[in-house]
Structure 1
């Protein structure tokens, strides 16, 4: 086996080929590095123009994860090496990762994502951008960025704002874990297929007579996946978001974001999922909760292009600020789980401080040319 962090194969499929991508760093749960982002971008660019590639299949190595996110420790290192910025590695990572995410969202050829196991952060960004998103009985999805003073990026501003009711805002603020049924209900996945069918799914894709017409090829992917989804449907686990949507909408029905945060963290409940979500927000950064809510609110009607441009602005400002470095230190480096946040509550955050995260930190947005 190759030591490359991503494996690319072109598998014969009828008169054409299926491009197969394997995120291949199982030891780190296939977490994305800048090198991996660049490799994926370059291959997607090549395959986009290649007439003999009918479709793309993307998966993660191992059984534990599709992709557990980005290499946050590398981002932390970049942040603390140049406090106040520019933080070259981290800022390049965000800009190039979001460009790759935009490529996925706008790709004209079908891309099938096998979202098995842990799908978090940057991994969810990859999956959400694909045109055909499969989840399994082992899928575990979360964007718990509030706990490290980041925000649900990689297009999260787009797909969270398109979820039913207030579920997107709730998931963004709490980082609550969801499963395959939730992913389909909230629109970030398309089909549930049990993991035992994976090899047969790939074989079915290889058996299709791929065309040079992308629209026809999208139909062929649906034709290949549909029987496996029909066989699997009875084994889909019960979700959390749909049965809790009434409670979620009530909790997020506050006069302002401070009241919404208070509703969630002060909820007295025996429900384990809601209780865990509340505790996650309570232990998260109050400053991050505010920039998460503002990012969603200000971009509710933004285009996909505008969303990635706004995300790179916010991410750049965050990585230059000490709150992010402290969050990563407490959760992932020292692992004392006792972050020293700059503000005790969201009401303590001055409006001017929050506003600074939404102003341009450079003369030209690095994604201005999307």
Structure 2
């Protein structure tokens, strides 16, 4: 099975433990992983014996590298159901929304690569613990998609223009970056993970969400913290002023040009600019537009907007071409439908946001 499911008995109550178990794919989310996890959470939401839920991943390299886009590429390139790729996204977003709204405390323990759909899961959890080797990113611009899985919600809540910068550049954040901007709550050492679970097993969980949440909060904050001085230096701390200065304004083409032309001397910055320079111009506009539109949206409407966007992306050539170039043929030279941000027609951007979904036509069935 691509996930492991355990119910761990405590002195009173039980912990529901979901382990993403596909280390050869960096625990990338396949369609079956998503549907199986959804079924388990639906069962546990109403199960009196389950008091809290933990997500973690197997292997040393990743909590979750995102959606399994090789699997998605097969659906995009095949002769099967043309609605199947959009169905994949609908199921993934429903899972993320379920975690956001879960009636019991949910902990994520992120290690190694936490990108795309992996960051969607972690961001949806009430307690977001990460190990010192964590690497976070929303790199969808490199494949012609857009920062989804609720990113319109959580990127908008980052300070300044950092959310926009992450979406435009696929910037890789280290543990200090993640803590600095609030994408993670706390760092723990890898050998503390099992001891945390053992400590939780010693407790009596009442099944009352508020009481259990209060107890869990105290327990998590009693964990021994790593020496933060020994963690990697924050790249965002070094570059926040550059991001704020270059990302200011209300014209996306100007912002993109300012970023690409800036004389900023660091390997991290150059990596970000390489992603932006080689990234999909339509995606840049989607990032810009989704963040603006989502500012006044509820979480439910954010996921509905993103599903409309994703469905449109599955019907345009850029996503298929981006996956081909990055992961299938690996020539790293995608031919995008428009060569630059300035060349993208407004009508192409607008069509990614139509039609609008609501309670009457939402295939996710969000409650």
Asked if TM exceeds 0.5, the reply is yes
Per the alignment, residue 36 of structure 2 pairs with 39
C-alpha distance after superposition, 1:262-311 (max 9, x if no partner): 11122222122222111110010111111111111111121100100000
> For residues 190-237 of structure 1, what are the alpha-carbon distances to aligned partners after superposition, in whole Å with 9 as ceiling and x for unaligned?
111111211111111111211121111112222222232435544433
Q: Which moved more, 1:289-298 or 1:72-81?
A: 72-81
SS at match of 2:73: helix
**Equivalence for 2:142:** 147
Which residue of structure 1 lines up, in the alignment, with residue 124 of structure 2?
A: 129
Runs of 4+ in structure 1 off by over 6 angstroms are none
Work out the CA distance in 1 between the residues paired with 2:255 and 2:184: 27
**Partners of 1:215 and 1:178 in 2: how far apart?**
32
Residues 93-113 of structure 1: per-residue CA shift (max 9 Å, x gap): 100110110010011211111
Alignment counterpart, residue 246 of structure 1, candidates 241, 248, 252:
241
**Is 2:270 the counterpart of 1:272?**
no
What does residue range 220-231 of structure 1 map to in structure 2 within 5 Å? 220-231=215-226
Q: 1:57 aligns with which of 54, 58, 65?
A: 54
Question: Residue in 1 aligned with 2:25?
Answer: 28
Within the alignment, does 1:343 sit opposite 2:338 as a pair? yes
Alpha-carbon offset, residue 89 of structure 1: 2.3
**Alignment-derived partner of residue 7 in structure 1:** 4
Figure out how many residues of one structure are paired with residues of the other and give that number: 365
Q: 2: distance between equivalents of 1:229 and 1:293? A: 40
Deviations along 1:327-364, one digit per CA (max 9) or x if unpaired, are 11000100000111111111111111221111129993
Q: Distance in 2 between matches of 1:336 and 1:132?
A: 39
Could you tell me how far apart the structure 2 residues matched to 1:237 and 1:204 are?
A: 28
Instruction: Give the whole-Å Cα distance in 2 for the aligned partners of 1:315 and 1:7.
Output: 29
2:89 paired residue among 91, 94, 97: 94
Pair 365,51 (structure 1): closer, same or farther in 2 beyond 3 Å: closer
Decide whether the 8 Å contact of 1:193 with 1:233 is kept in 2: no
- Answer whether contact 1:287 1:346 (CA < 8 A) is retained: yes
2:94–2:366 contact (8 Å) kept in structure 1: no
State the SS of the aligned residue for 2:59: coil
Q: Tell me how far 1:160 sits from its aligned partner.
A: 0.1
Q: 2:279 aligns with which of 275, 284, 299?
A: 284
Q: Is the 8 Å Cα contact of residues 300 and 366 (structure 2) preserved in structure 1?
A: no
1:366 counterpart = 2:363: yes
Task: State how far apart, in whole Å, the 1-side matches of 2:100 and 2:224 are.
Answer: 23
Residue of 76, 79, 82 corresponding to 2:76: 79
Report how far residue 323 of structure 1 moved.
0.9
Q: Are residues 1:187 and 2:185 paired?
A: no
When the two chains are superposed, the root-mean-square deviation of aligned CA atoms in Å is 1.7
1:319 to 310, 314, 323: 314
- Compared CA separation, residues 237 and 215, structure 1 to 2 (3 A): farther
Asked if structure 1 preserves the Cα contact closer than 8 Å seen for 2:66 and 2:119, the reply is: yes
Match of 2:100 in 1: 105
